[in-house]
Amino acid sequence: MRKRTVFAWGVAILCFVVLMIVTPAIPQSQEYHDFADQREFLGIPNTLNVVSNFPFLIIGLVGLILCFHRNYFRLRLQGELWGWACFFVGVAVVGIGSSYYHLKPDDARLVWDRLPMTIAFTSIMAIFIIERIDERKGTVSIIPLLLAGVVSILYWCFFDDLRPYALVQFVPCIAIPVMAILLPPMYTHSAYWLWAAGFYLLAKVEEAADKPIYKWTHHIVSGHTIKHLCAAMVPVFLTLMLAKRSIETERQSLLETWKISWTKVRRNETTVESYTCTYSNVPVEESPR
């Protein structure tokens, strides 16, 4: 088992090195800081982009408190507790860091927006490893994954290259939904992971359509502001999942569950069709005149 773990890490590192060699650097575009909605209200620059980060702070603090208050989330493993604590700390600090950045957008402030996001991304990966693969490996991976996130930000700061940060951000976006579908869960309500992933994907689309959305809404709200609100739904759904879930007695992946449900639906349709055909072939007696 240990050899396989070392081999897996070796392959991952090798793939990363090859990717860094064969792909060009991705510098930070200064156009990124040119958001559609730059209105000022009550003396707050870029007001809506600033205040729309407030939900991150609230849900992050609520989740962090519930992690430690009488074990409200019923976390059974120490690794889970620390993983979720890191996640909610990251979410709360996103609310502060992103607000600070949007007051005066530039590269120096963007660091404090992205750094807490990497904490949230990497801690979620560790949590998933704990729940779906191996408790000990997941717990041990918390620190290395967090460090990988921090290093990706430092690499961007020193070399103006976003490739490591892009991997830290987008690999969990792909890996988590795939693992949520294919790997048997430890807890119920596993579908909440997919809802969270869906809202994050929607947030990225809204971020890309910042200016078109601002135009479509007649300068009422921009895509970036809506992006913040949609992205905040990710920790909301995960918090709801933690509050509602219980130990899964019959561990089945979502894919297996969907297959069973589909089989039942097809069987019911076949039964109804068979009954309908049988009934339609029964001769109808004429009533006496």
SS (HEC) of the chain = CHHHHHHHHHHHHHHHHHHHHHCCCCCCCHHHHCCCCCCCECCECCHHHHHCCHHHHHHHHHHHHHHHCCCCCCCCCHHHHHHHHHHHHHHHHHHHHHHHHHHCCCHHHHHHHHHHHHHHHHHHHHHHHHHHCCHHHHHHHHHHHHHHHHHHHHHHHHHCCCHHHHHHHHHHHHHHHHHHHHCCCCECCCHHHHHHHHHHHHHHHHHHCHHHHHHHCCCCCCHHHHHHHHHHHHHHHHHHHHHHCCECCCCCCHHHHHHHHHHHHHHHHHHHHHHHHHHHCCCCCCCCC
Q: d(Cα 26, Cα 216) in Å, to the nearest integer?
A: 30
Query: What is the structure's pLDDT at 284?
Result: 52
Query: What is the structure's pLDDT at 116?
Result: 95
Query: What is the structure's pLDDT at 279?
Result: 58
> Taking Cα atoms as reference points, which of 71, 66, 49, 63 lies closest to residue 93?
63
Q: How far is CA 40 from the centre of its chain?
A: 31
Query: What is the structure's pLDDT at 173?
Result: 83
What is the chain's pLDDT, residue by residue, as a tens digit (289 residues)? 566 666 666 777 787 788 888 889 999 999 999 999 999 998 999 999 999 999 999 999 999 999 998 889 988 888 999 999 999 999 999 999 999 999 999 999 999 999 999 999 999 999 988 988 888 888 988 999 999 999 999 999 999 999 999 988 888 888 888 888 888 888 888 889 999 999 999 999 999 999 999 999 999 999 999 999 999 999 999 999 999 998 877 777 777 777 777 777 777 767 766 666 665 555 555 555 4
Cβ distance 176 to 193 under 8 Å? yes
Residue 102 marked ligand-binding: yes
**Residue type (1 letter), 132:** R
Query: What is the structure's pLDDT at 163?
Result: 92
- 22-57 in b/e form (b: 16+ CB < 10 A) is eeeeeeeeeeeeebbbeeeeeeeebbbbbbbbebbb
Query: What is the structure's pLDDT at 202?
Result: 95
- φ/ψ (deg, to 5) at 41: -125, 140
User: Which residues, in sequence order, are CB contacts of 239 under 8 Å at separation 6+?
Assistant: 59, 62, 63, 66
Query: What is the structure's pLDDT at 277?
Result: 64
Query: What is the structure's pLDDT at 7?
Result: 66
Query: What is the structure's pLDDT at 171?
Result: 85
End-to-end CA distance of the chain: 84
Domain spans, the chain: 41-267
Q: d(Cα 155, Cα 255) in Å, to the nearest integer?
A: 38
Please give the CATH architecture assigned to the domain spanning 41-267. Answer: Up-down Bundle (1.20)
> Taking Cα atoms as reference points, which of 73, 164, 165 lies closest to residue 127?
73
Cα Rg of the chain, angstroms: 24
